[in-house]
Amino acid sequence: MRLDSEIINSLGDIVGKDNVLMARESLEPYSHDETPGLSHLPDVVVKPKTAEEISKIMKLANEKEVPVTPRAGGTGLSGGAVPWLGGILMSFERMNRIKEIDTENAMAVVESGVIVQNLEEEAAKYGLFYPPDPASLDSCMIAGNVAECAGGARAFKYGVTRNYVKGMEVVLPQGEIIRLGGKLIKNVTGYSLMDLIVGSEGTLAIVTEVILKLLPLPEAKIDLLIPFNSIEQAVNTAVKIIKSGIVPATIELMEREAIKASERYLEKKTPFSDAEVHILVELDGKKENIEKEYEILGELALENGAIDVYVAEDKGEQDRVWEARRAISEALKSKSEIDHEDVVVPISEIPNLFRNLKELEKKYLLKIVCYGHVGDGNIHVNVLKETMEEKKWREIIPKLVREIFDIVVQRGGMISGEHGIGLAKKAYLPLALDSAQIELMKRIKIAFDPKNILNPGKIFDI
């Protein structure tokens, strides 16, 4: 349906006319996230300021049966924020207050539209630490992180967004405002709706406020960028680090093509960038401890075939290394059309996964570039189109992706570790989950959202 002027007027009454966008050129930026090839214009963009406004919008949308797509930073990689069926796009950009850094309880209370890096920086002023760090942390928002259960590099030591969400205010699809949890470490008072909403990709409820657990800020950190001549050596070293008893904050892996793309994109050189593959290990904690630990891990890497160990001790060197890592996704996209996957397997299967991917590279004559969170078994697999003819690419990719996912599932893995299913992976969900399970998820969706108006068409079709 198209939205009639009555609905538009009502939205204006709720959020103020200045916060309702209708012109095509103002709608365009809200038509896509960072997922290649997926976009759809909304009919209208609304920018609410409060849960009460959102509640009114949802009641109106229910009455009129209009789809509502919530949008946080728009940095998603599975199309979760794309308004696929048009309707109302709800942007959290005006809900960007860090309401409280509670030092007594080590908790932050933030609105849905707070940029993750802003929270991290604000917490640091009080000697506190918000660990989740998706690569897009300078532009992604908390509500999106909650929707996707965002991970990031530090998930190896610190876990994912779920581990930090302790309370929430949410608006249910029919407009009720409810509060879940609190500044509480433990809670088993009824079903954990909160843990169900985390990772539900904005399909079950609209998160308006989040209470997040903070940790003491680590005293110091050191980054080790370790080049290898073979993927096997790099992966084996990563596995040995995991088993060493020392727990780094991150164990990242980057193949040469990823580093090279990032170098070109940023126009900055990365140390040893000709090596086949790098692992990037960050240690954090007490200065005296991490100084001991990095010596041990450096030795371990050299014994296992590392070409060298580049130690980034000061902030400038560290920022340079992480800038290179975080730019990879953008850099690869700027170089070629890509297909981007986000698979996760048990750690022990990582060497096999890489072997299988190399076989697929040969079979399909397409370059496959991997990087990601090797310590978590979570690998971002990028297939580069490069010069392949468009028609052939479109024919081949679904087959290749299916093969990748079949391998991953056979190896005990899942098809998304931290980016979600959204629109992009919806067709493949039955490869990972059986129909009884998907049917149950659909019944849960309907229990929350009987008219299927909240972010419809994501994860599965009802």
Integer Cα distance of 275 and 456 in angstroms:
45
Is 19 or 250 the residue whose CB approaches its own copies more closely?
250
Taking the complex as a whole, how short is the minimal distance between the CB of residue 298 and its own copies, in angstroms? Answer: 19
Q: How far apart are CA 407 and CA 145, in angstroms?
A: 28
- Shortest distance in whole angstroms from residue 285 CB to its own copies: 10
Which contiguous run of DSSP H or E holds residue 287?
A: helix 287-303
Which tokens is 271 given? 């140390």
Whether the Cβ atoms of residue 431 and residue 409 lie closer than 8 Å to each other: yes
Tokens of 233: 């050596």
Sign of CA dihedral 299, 301, 303, 305: negative
Residue 67 or 134 with smaller CB distance to its own copies: 134
Q: How far is CA 166 from the centre of its chain?
A: 19
Cβ closest to its own copies, residue 44 vs residue 242: 242
- Residue among 91 and 416 whose Cβ is closer to its own copies: 416
Report how far residue 462's alpha carbon sits from residue 79's, in angstroms, rounded to the nearest whole number.
Answer: 17
Which C-beta is closer to its own copies: that of 197 or that of 368? 197
Tokens matching residue 379: 């690998």
**Cβ of residue 26: shortest distance to its own copies, in angstroms?**
31
Longest alpha-carbon distance in the chain: 71
Type of residue numbered 182: G
Q: How far apart are CA 246 and CA 294, in angstroms?
A: 9
Q: Give min distance, CB of 87 to its own copies, in A.
A: 22
Q: How far is the CB of 270 from its own copies (least distance, A)?
A: 26
Supply the minimum distance, in Å, between the C-beta of residue 382 and its own copies: 18
Question: Toward its own copies, which CB reaches closer, 106 or 261?
Answer: 106
Q: How far is the CB of 7 from its own copies (least distance, A)?
A: 25
Nearer to its own copies, 334 or 348 (CB): 348
Q: How far apart are CA 210 and CA 165, in angstroms?
A: 7
Q: Would you state the structure tokens that stand for residue 40, as one six-digit string?
A: 């759809």
Comparing CB distances to its own copies, the nearer of 129 and 393 is 129
> What are the angstrom distances between the C-alpha of 114 and each of 94, 110, 153?
9, 7, 20
Quick check: 133 and 154 in contact, CB under 8 A? yes
For helices 256-266 and 328-335, what crossing angle results, to 10°? 80
